[in-house]
Amino acid sequence: MENTYIVSDELFQNMVVIDPGSEAEKIMEQIDRKGGKVSYILLTHGHADHIGAVDELRKRYSAQVAIHKEDADMLGSSSGNLSQFLGNPFTVLPADIFLADGDVIRFGETELKIIHTPGHSPGSICLLGTEVIFSGDTLFESSIGRTDFPGGDIEAMRESLSILEALPGDYTVYPGHGGTTTLAQERAMNPYMGR
């Protein structure tokens, strides 16, 4: 139960796929129905449930895979990406792009800014667009990502949440698991924010 997102720049028929965790065929059906070029596969972090369909999509669309440099090694390690502990160990090919805080991914006229938000993993990121945040496993509706996995850090998570909380205005938040929410709602209701 992981969320995969396809973000499209309609004018230029250019798109990115965020966190293709599994079910590559279903994702490809949606991409092909929409039509256009997949420029990037963006990974909010390197855990198995967010990377399982990466190689199939990369091969089909010749898209570049991007992940924060601190999680890059997880792709090639079944223990690092936790798949070994889930009973189905796998690895994926190395990323093409290593992201850092403040980087901007452009496709067509659309931009997504990288916000480094460690806590769930050392290289967790959020993707900030116009009035939207793809929050990976940093921020969920009324909750946050786990910090008890290898590389998790509750203090780092608190700092990351404070960065999101301080963003001006409101945003629709598309998390890695669960339903869509808003940053305003999470500022008001999430027990982990504002602490």
Residue range 49-59, pLDDT digits in tens: 999 999 999 99
- Which of the four CATH numbers 3.40.50.2300, 3.40.366.10, 3.60.15.10, 3.30.230.10 does domain 5-189 have? 3.60.15.10
Mean pLDDT for the stretch of residues 162-182: 97
Which of 110 and 195 is assigned the larger pLDDT?
Answer: 110
- In this structure, the number of other CB atoms found within 10 A of the CB of residue 49 comes to 18
Write down the mean pLDDT value for the chain. 96
Distances (CA, A) of 5 to 20, 28, 63, 87, 133: 8, 12, 15, 26, 12
Q: For position 177, what pLDDT does the model report?
A: 98
Mean pLDDT for the stretch of residues 61-90: 97
Q: For position 195, what pLDDT does the model report?
A: 57
Mean pLDDT for the stretch of residues 79-104: 96
Q: Give the three-state DSSP class for 27.
A: helix
> In the 8-state DSSP scheme, what is residue 153?
-
Confidence of residue 32 (pLDDT cuts 50, 70, 90): very high
Mean pLDDT for the stretch of residues 105-117: 97
Bridge-based pairing state of the strands 104-107 and 97-99: unpaired
Domain ranges of the chain: 5-189
